[in-house]
Structure 1
C-alpha cells in the first residue's frame, strides 16, 4: 500500500521506501519502526475451523437487499 503522506505527521513522502512504508524516515526513527498495531491479514482462501461454507444461488436475498 502506498501513501503519499506520512501516517504519523502528515508530511509529503518523497522516497519510494517511505511511500511503501507509509511513514517518513524521521518519524520511522522516532517511533522505533513501530507505526501502530499490526493486524495480520488472513489469506484470501482462509478456512475457519467449524465454519460451514454455503453456496450462493442466483438472486439469493442478502442482508443488504432486505
Structure 2
C-alpha cells in the first residue's frame, strides 16, 4: 500500500521509498522514524589480543615541529 502524501504533514511524497513508508524524510527525521544502522564506538574496556596501548603524552608544538 502506497500513500501519495505524508501521513504526518500531508506533503506530496515524490519517492517510491517514502511512499511505501507513508511518511516523508523530513517528518521521519523529526519523529525519529528514520533509523540508521548504529555502529557502536569502542569503549576503553574493549581489548584486542596482541594490541599494545601507548601512553598519551601531551607535546607542546614548537616552531621546529610545524
Q: Normalization by structure 2: what TM-score?
A: 0.49
Larger Rg: 2
Q: Normalization by structure 1: what TM-score?
A: 0.49
